């Protein structure tokens, strides 16, 4: 039976003296179980890894804001934001594959430079274009696509390093690390758009992208050369290859299931954002939809932290199903609140189930991935979220246009139900898979 995983190589028993000492130290740390993380990677890794992923959270909204302001067209801005998302969805797995083959350091350094150049190109082209003809818009969209395609994938590649660093420790160390990563992702995707809004409204629409470029060059480069990058080297990763995965019962479909789950998760995110824009618009507060959405994002972030304290006997496939049940139940009442206060309550409850679901799917992905393809699979999971977000935004937008906010509410509820179905499918598919 598929149980709470450690990475592909077996971990020594947590009853050893070293592991017992590590567990005791964790309990004494003011950070609780999370105290093991700075001891494994160093405090600087947590800070650098958190802020280095911030540009990714700024690019889509930054492109939307800049192009919309410069062109005076919401459609042009929306196309630019969509091009960023499409580029990221296609580029992320390629960057992950290259990192698996060539190492994270060189891939991150090159992608940081290319991404900064793409950002500079978009800003320059947009600000120097006086008339947004189809030809000039095509150039803007090409630059936007390149900006997304070259964006360094800090979150997925940080997870690869944690998997290598925790594989010889207690099994729940990886859960602790992935819980932290889920929270970091959620918080940056709240902070990033907020920073774009502040800089664009108070100073200039181009400034958020300029700041993103500076952060990419400095912090992504620092992440690339951080000593933990040695743990992402093929020699330090589990030796599991395609034949080793087959011996454990792993098949390509087992990798596909969590990827589809992340597409459903992204569909949920994108449709919920669009639904909230339509809902808030009923009260003349469409521009505040992001702040309303932050209610769910914050409860989701802190719920993700709680996964580190869940019992090891609570199997990951069961966690997925249980969390998806809660998501589905909460999402089905999104259309009921008649005002902002009621919606905030629903969103807060909804977030309690979202964070654990995302952490769990990443955990399952880390086990079904061959040891020499962890970067590829982690970036595939991340790109699934991006692709799903674009899908969810489009579907909910169509329904909001024809049936209002109540019509758009169908999409996040359906996406949550799809997550539940995929959780059940994963439980069936992985029941005979060995985690060793």
How many CB atoms within 10 Å of residue 14?
A: 16
Compute CA distances 132 → 22, 117, 139, 141, 165, whole Å: 60, 22, 10, 11, 50
Assess whether 94 and 213 both reside in one domain: yes
8 A C-beta contact, residue 280 and residue 340: yes
Q: Which residue has the tokens 């599991």?
A: 240
Domain containing residue 153: 34-234
For the chain, percent helix, then strand, then coil, each to nearest 5? 80, 0, 20
Four-residue CA torsion sign, 8, 9, 15, 20:
negative
Assess whether 280 and 228 both reside in one domain: no
Last residue of a domain, one of 217, 234, 251: 234
On whether residue 18 sits in a domain, the answer given is no
Assess whether 128 and 208 both reside in one domain: yes
State the pLDDT at residue 10. Answer: 37
Assess whether 279 and 358 both reside in one domain: yes
On whether residue 8 sits in a domain, the answer given is no
Total domains in the fold of the chain: 2
On whether residue 151 sits in a domain, the answer given is yes
On whether residue 21 sits in a domain, the answer given is no
How many CB atoms within 10 Å of residue 414?
A: 19
Last residue of a domain, one of 234, 253, 280: 234
On whether residue 261 sits in a domain, the answer given is yes
Assess whether 312 and 206 both reside in one domain: no
For each of the chain's 436 residues, which pLDDT tens digit applies?
454 444 433 333 333 344 444 444 445 556 677 788 888 888 889 999 999 998 988 888 788 888 888 888 767 877 888 888 889 888 988 998 898 888 899 999 999 999 999 999 999 999 888 777 888 889 999 999 999 999 998 988 888 888 888 776 665 677 788 888 888 887 887 778 778 878 887 888 899 999 999 999 999 999 999 988 776 654 445 544 444 444 455 566 778 889 999 999 988 988 888 888 888 888 887 767 777 888 888 898 888 888 878 877 888 889 999 999 999 999 999 999 999 999 999 999 999 999 899 888 988 887 787 766 777 888 888 888 888 887 887 788 888 888 888 998 999 999 999 999 999 998 888 776 545 4
φ/ψ of residue 193, rounded to 5: -60, -35
Assess whether 222 and 115 both reside in one domain: yes
Last residue of a domain, one of 234, 269, 304: 234
Assess whether 327 and 343 both reside in one domain: yes
State the pLDDT at residue 23. Answer: 46
On whether residue 10 sits in a domain, the answer given is no
State the pLDDT at residue 290. Answer: 74
φ/ψ of residue 11, rounded to 5: -90, 145
Assess whether 50 and 147 both reside in one domain: yes
Assess whether 71 and 206 both reside in one domain: yes
State the pLDDT at residue 381. Answer: 87
8 A C-beta contact, residue 23 and residue 171: no
Taking the complete model, does pTM exceed 0.75, yes or no? yes
Assess whether 198 and 302 both reside in one domain: no
CATH number at 321 reads 1.20.1250.20
On whether residue 62 sits in a domain, the answer given is yes
List alpha helices for 203-250, DSSP H: 207-215, 221-225, 242-247
How many CB atoms within 10 Å of residue 243?
A: 8
On whether residue 44 sits in a domain, the answer given is yes
Assess whether 250 and 179 both reside in one domain: no
State the pLDDT at residue 424. Answer: 93
Assess whether 316 and 188 both reside in one domain: no
Distance CA 30, CA 20 (A): 18
């Amino acid at each position: 039976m598929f149980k709470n995983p450690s990475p592909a190589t077996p971990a020594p028993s947590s009853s050893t003296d070293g592991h017992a000492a590590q567990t005791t130290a964790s309990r004494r740390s003011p950070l609780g179980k999370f105290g093991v993380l700075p001891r494994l990677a160093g405090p600087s890794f947590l800070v650098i890894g958190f802020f280095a992923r911030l540009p990714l959270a700024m690019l889509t909204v930054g492109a939307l804001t800049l192009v919309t302001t410069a062109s005076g067209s919401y459609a042009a801005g929306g196309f630019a934001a969509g091009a960023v998302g499409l580029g990221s969805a296609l580029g992320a797995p390629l960057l992950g594959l290259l990192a698996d083959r060539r190492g994270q350091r060189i891939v991150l350094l090159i992608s940081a430079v290319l991404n900064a150049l793409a950002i500079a190109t978009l800003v320059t082209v947009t600000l120097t274009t006086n008339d947004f003809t189809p030809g000039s818009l095509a150039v803007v969209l090409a630059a936007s696509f390149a900006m997304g395609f070259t964006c360094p994938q800090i979150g997925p590649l940080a997870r690869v390093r944690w998997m290598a660093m925790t594989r010889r420790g207690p099994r729940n160390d990886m859960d602790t690390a992935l819980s932290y990563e889920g929270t970091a992702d959620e918080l940056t995707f709240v902070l990033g758009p907020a920073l774009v809004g502040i800089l664009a409204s108070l100073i200039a629409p181009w400034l958020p992208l300029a700041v993103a470029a500076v952060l990419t060059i400095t912090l992504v480069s620092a992440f690339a050369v951080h000593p933990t990058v040695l743990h992402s080297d093929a020699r330090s990763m589990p030796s599991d290859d395609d034949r080793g995965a087959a011996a454990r019962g792993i098949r390509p479909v087992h990798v596909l299931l969590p990827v589809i789950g992340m597409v459903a998760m992204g569909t949920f995110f994108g449709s919920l954002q669009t639904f909230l824009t339509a809902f808030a618009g009923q009260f003349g507060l469409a521009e505040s939809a992001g702040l309303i959405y932050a209610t769910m994002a914050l409860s989701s972030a802190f719920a993700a932290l709680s996964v580190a304290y869940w019992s090891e006997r609570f199997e990951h496939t069961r966690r997925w199903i249980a969390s998806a049940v809660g998501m589905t139940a909460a999402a089905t009442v999104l259309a009921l609140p008649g005002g902002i206060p009621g919606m905030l309550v629903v969103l807060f409850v909804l977030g309690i189930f979202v964070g654990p679901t995302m952490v769990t799917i990443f955990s399952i992905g880390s086990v079904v991935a061959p040891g020499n393809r962890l970067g590829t699979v982690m970036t595939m999971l991340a790109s699934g979220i991006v692709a799903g977000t674009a899908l969810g935004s489009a579907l909910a937008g169509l329904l909001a246009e024809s049936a209002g906010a109540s019509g758009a509410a169908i999409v996040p509820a359906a996406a949550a139900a799809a997550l539940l179905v995929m959780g059940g499918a994963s439980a069936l598919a992985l029941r005979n898979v060995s985690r060793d």
